[in-house]
């Protein structure tokens, strides 16, 4: 085993120097890795340190007088009491919240995928000269804040709002629908509306990169349009689908204001609402941090699946 | 220094719940559980105030109770509320959603309801008279105050005191009250004065045909009396264990347990 392991770095070094000498440029071995330094510092300051603080709060204590969270930074003094209690309750009365969250996120992500894929497919394949315009229109929702778009929906979905006016005018419903009465369907609709732009763009980027010759090859080999789509386009766009699903489903898991604004009913409470409630309640900071860690663990599962799938697809190229 | 004083009672739409109805009930607190108003009952996202109302409904006047039996009643009633009326949790329950007919009945701070006319579109007399406030006639209910404090290490303590003196002046306190609805602790500001005197801001807004009085004459219950502080019940600090117990019950409610 020792011989190959010693030979490998030498081979790599030779390949590098060969390539560099081919290009007539010689780089230090630290040149390319140094490009990651700014991002590494950024991540260390704005992600790792805050994350460690959250962990220190989750396993920390509470100020006995003001009831604010007191982070404990030394792991040997950590207490798992609060975290354990939140974990226990997660299998107890909070279970319904987890179920709601997963239901809403899965359904909303699936709807986003269906709607976004068709739009992205059209723009990538048939956008033609209007592709830039269509892309600009797809980006347009980003110009308005998420909060404002949700507030607009409150007026649109109101019992006297435009949606109900149109539905009743067309006699599609006998009387106005009370959309804002704590309906899960309204929360899901809000999530789809809010996050769909984030799904269209990565899907478009992947679909646009698919080599048209591969599609023509499929047709030449006798496959019809549907078969070509399912046997060529869809498999090739799989990494894009996974990336888009990850991009929208992860923030959806922690979303709380969509539910707050469009429902407000305890019957549609999501995991993000629990965190929001705990953050705003005296003495509950540790609980909020514990929820954050549990949420992170939950979203890590689809993230790991995405990373594994991406790594596999890179290996097969 | 006490800055504003308020009670916690029930805000209601007078076109759906006539004054006589709520005032004639044996236990008006229980109207928040009435299935007639399902989907149109609001509660504040404030565990202390909402749970205090549940305690009041059960005739428990210790709003800082740590008694397990008392808190079990609160738990049972809160979860029953979800099944009975599917309540909505909202901070603007009594100054916006009530006025705009999103809610029929809601937990309410008196100051929110007093200021509610500013949100009562389309600003007609009917809209202004559309909402009311109930608080026990014997004044035995939750009462509290907000305050202004000067930090021990304040950089300009003299200026801070001047500022407080400014707010203590009757005229300025009342001008502030006329637009924000939260009553200043002024002894001259009694029920008679507040429901019959025109406020500065209200006068300025007269083009809206707003109620000109500081407090709409049909909701005298919303005026806080000096004597209320001797009669009413106040929320105080809870010990860590008791506070955790309260939070646990509130968490079950906000998680939708019972649905």
pLDDT at A289: 95
CA-to-CA distance for A21 and B38, rounded, in angstroms? 78
CA-to-CA distance for A178 and A22, rounded, in angstroms? 70
**Hey, what are A281's tokens?**
């309640």
CA angle A40, A42, A43 (to 5 degrees): 65
Give the list of residues 6+ apart from residue A60 with CB closer than 8 angstroms, or none: A69, A70, A71, A72, A78, A79, A286, A289
When pLDDT is averaged across residues A144-170 and rounded to a whole number, the result is 88
B2-13 vs A69-70, strand pairing mode: unpaired
pLDDT at A121: 93
pLDDT tens for each residue of A198-254: 999 899 988 998 888 888 888 888 888 888 888 888 888 888 899 899 999 999 999
pLDDT band, very low/low/confident/very high, at B70 (cuts 50, 70, 90): very high
Q: Return the higher-pLDDT residue of A153 and B32.
A: B32
The answer to whether B236 contacts chain A (CB < 8 Å) is no
Q: What part of A 17-76 touches B (C-beta under 8 Å)? A: 62, 64, 67
Nearest CA in chain A to B46: A281
pLDDT at A1: 38
Q: Could you tell me the CA-to-CA distances from B254 to A13, A116, A179, A186 in Å, in that order?
A: 60, 33, 20, 19
pLDDT at A113: 95
What is the percent of chain A with per-residue pLDDT over 90, rounded to a whole number? 46
Of A93, A266, A282, Cβ closest to residue B89: A266
Q: What part of B 74-93 touches A (C-beta under 8 Å)? A: 82, 86-90
B240/A283 Cβ within 8 A: yes
Nearest CA in chain A to B103: A181
A21 inside domain = no
A32 inside domain = no
pLDDT tens for each residue of B104-133: 999 999 999 998 888 887 777 788 889 999
Q: Return the higher-pLDDT residue of A178 and B18.
A: B18
A14 inside domain = no
The answer to whether A262 contacts chain B (CB < 8 Å) is no
Assess contact for B17 and B105: CB atoms under 8 A.
yes
Per 3-state DSSP, what percentage of chain A is helix, strand, and coil (rounded to 5)? 75, 0, 20
Predicted confidence (pLDDT) at residue B202 exceeds the cutoff of 60: no
Per 3-state DSSP, what percentage of chain B is helix, strand, and coil (rounded to 5)? 45, 15, 40
> Cα distance from A258 to chain B (closest Cα, Å)?
14
When pLDDT is averaged across residues B73-96 and rounded to a whole number, the result is 94
Of B39, B102, B253, Cβ closest to residue A266: B253
CA-to-CA distance for B25 and B34, rounded, in angstroms? 12
pLDDT at B125: 75
A273/B256 Cβ within 8 A: no
When pLDDT is averaged across residues B243-251 and rounded to a whole number, the result is 93
Residues in chain A within 8 Å Cβ distance of B256: 96-97, 100, 265-269
- Of chain A, the end-to-end C-alpha distance in Å amounts to 28
> Count of residues for chain B?
259
When pLDDT is averaged across residues A17-38 and rounded to a whole number, the result is 75
pLDDT band, very low/low/confident/very high, at A2 (cuts 50, 70, 90): very low
pLDDT at B89: 93
State the total domains in chain A. 1
A167 inside domain = yes
Of A269, A281, A284, Cβ closest to residue B255: A269
A92 inside domain = yes
Predicted confidence (pLDDT) at residue B258 exceeds the cutoff of 70: no
Structural domains in chain B, sorted by start: 2-248 (3.40.190.10)
Query: Residue A208's domain spans which residues?
Result: 45-316
A294 inside domain = yes
Predicted confidence (pLDDT) at residue B200 exceeds the cutoff of 80: no
**Hey, what are A53's tokens?**
């603080």
When pLDDT is averaged across residues A38-48 and rounded to a whole number, the result is 91
What is the percent of chain B with per-residue pLDDT over 90, rounded to a whole number? 71
Q: What CATH number did the domain enclosing A141 receive? A: 1.10.3720.10
Predicted confidence (pLDDT) at residue B168 exceeds the cutoff of 70: yes
Assess contact for B87 and B53: CB atoms under 8 A.
no
Phi, psi of A160 (to 5 degrees): -110, 20
Q: How large is the ipTM?
A: 0.81
Residues in chain B within 8 Å Cβ distance of A268: 256
B257/A178 Cβ within 8 A: no
Is the torsion defined by CA of B89, B92, B95, B100 positive or negative? negative
A35 inside domain = no
Predicted confidence (pLDDT) at residue A158 exceeds the cutoff of 50: yes
DSSP state of A135: H
When pLDDT is averaged across residues B49-61 and rounded to a whole number, the result is 97
Assess contact for B81 and B32: CB atoms under 8 A.
yes
The answer to whether A264 contacts chain B (CB < 8 Å) is yes
Residue to test with chain A: of B97, B256, B259, most A Cβ within 10 A: B256
Residues in chain B within 8 Å Cβ distance of A266: 82, 87, 89, 253-256, 259
The answer to whether B47 contacts chain A (CB < 8 Å) is yes
User: Hunting for tokens 């707050």 — which residue is that?
Assistant: A260
Give the list of residues 6+ apart from residue A141 with CB closer than 8 angstroms, or none: A149, A197
Quick one: residue A84, left, alpha or beta (phi over 0 = left, psi -120 to 50 = alpha)? Answer: alpha
Assess contact for A181 and B39: CB atoms under 8 A.
yes
Residue to test with chain B: of A266, A283, A287, A291, most B Cβ within 10 A: A266
Of B247, B251, B253, Cβ closest to residue A283: B247
What's the Rg (C-alpha) of chain A? 25
Arithmetic mean of pLDDT over chain B: 90
Predicted confidence (pLDDT) at residue A15 exceeds the cutoff of 70: no
A12 inside domain = no
């Amino acid at each position: 085993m020792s011989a190959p392991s010693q030979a490998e770095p030498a081979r790599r070094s030779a390949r590098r120097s060969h390539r560099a000498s081919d290009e007539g440029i010689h780089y230090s071995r630290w040149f390319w890795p140094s490009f990651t330094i700014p991002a590494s510092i950024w991540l260390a300051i704005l992600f790792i340190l805050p994350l460690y603080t959250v962990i220190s709060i989750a396993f920390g204590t509470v100020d006995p007088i003001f009831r604010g969270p007191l982070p404990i930074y030394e792991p040997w003094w950590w207490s798992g009491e609060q975290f354990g209690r939140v974990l226990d309750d997660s299998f107890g009365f909070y279970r319904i919240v987890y179920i709601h969250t997963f239901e809403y996120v899965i359904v909303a992500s699936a709807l986003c995928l269906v709607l976004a894929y068709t739009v992205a497919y059209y723009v990538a394949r048939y956008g033609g000269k209007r592709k830039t315009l269509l892309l600009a229109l797809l980006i347009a929702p980003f110009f308005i804040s998420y909060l404002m778009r949700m507030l607009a929906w409150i007026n649109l979905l109101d019992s006297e709002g435009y949606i109900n006016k149109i539905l009743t005018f067309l006699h599609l419903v006998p009387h106005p629908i009370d959309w804002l009465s704590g309906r899960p369907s309204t929360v899901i609709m809000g999530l789809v509306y809010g996050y769909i732009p984030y799904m269209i763009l990565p899907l478009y980027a992947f679909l646009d990169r698919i080599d048209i010759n591969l599609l023509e090859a499929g047709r030449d080999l006798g496959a019809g349009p549907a078969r070509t789509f399912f046997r060529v386009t869809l498999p090739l766009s799989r990494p894009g689908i996974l990336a888009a699903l990850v991009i929208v489903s992860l923030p959806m898991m922690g979303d709380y204001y969509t539910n707050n604004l469009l429902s407000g009913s305890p019957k549609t409470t999501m995991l993000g609402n629990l965190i929001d409630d705990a953050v705003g309640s005296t003495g509950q900071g540790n609980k909020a941090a514990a929820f954050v860690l549990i949420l992170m663990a939950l979203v890590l599962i689809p993230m790991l699946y995405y990373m594994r799938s991406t790594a596999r697809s890179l290996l097969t190229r | 220094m006490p800055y504003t004083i308020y009670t916690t009672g029930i805000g209601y739409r007078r076109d759906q719940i006539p004054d006589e109805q709520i005032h004639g009930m044996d236990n008006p607190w229980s109207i928040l559980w009435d299935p007639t108003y399902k989907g149109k009952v609001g509660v504040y996202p404030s565990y202390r105030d909402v749970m205090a109302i549940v305690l009041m409904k059960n005739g428990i006047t210790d709003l800082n109770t740590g008694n397990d039996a008392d808190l079990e009643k609160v738990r049972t009633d809160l979860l029953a509320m979800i099944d009975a009326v599917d309540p909505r949790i909202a901070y603007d329950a009594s100054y916006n959603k009530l006025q705009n007919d999103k809610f029929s009945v809601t937990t309410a701070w008196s100051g929110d309801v007093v200021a509610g006319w500013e949100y009562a579109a389309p600003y007609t007399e009917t809209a202004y008279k559309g909402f009311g406030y109930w608080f026990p006639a014997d004044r035995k209910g939750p009462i509290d105050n907000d305050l202004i404090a000067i930090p021990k290490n304040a950089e300009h303590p003299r200026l801070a005191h001047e500022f407080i003196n400014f707010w203590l002046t009757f005229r300025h306190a009342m001008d502030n009250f006329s637009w924000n609805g939260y009553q200043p602790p002024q002894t001259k500001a009694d029920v008679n004065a507040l429901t019959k005197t025109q406020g500065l801001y209200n006068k300025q807004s007269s083009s809206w045909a707003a109620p000109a009085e500081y407090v709409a004459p049909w909701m005298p219950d919303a005026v806080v009396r000096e004597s209320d502080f001797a009669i009413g019940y106040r929320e105080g600090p809870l010990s860590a264990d008791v506070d955790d117990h309260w939070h646990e019950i509130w968490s079950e409610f906000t998680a939708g347990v019972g649905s």
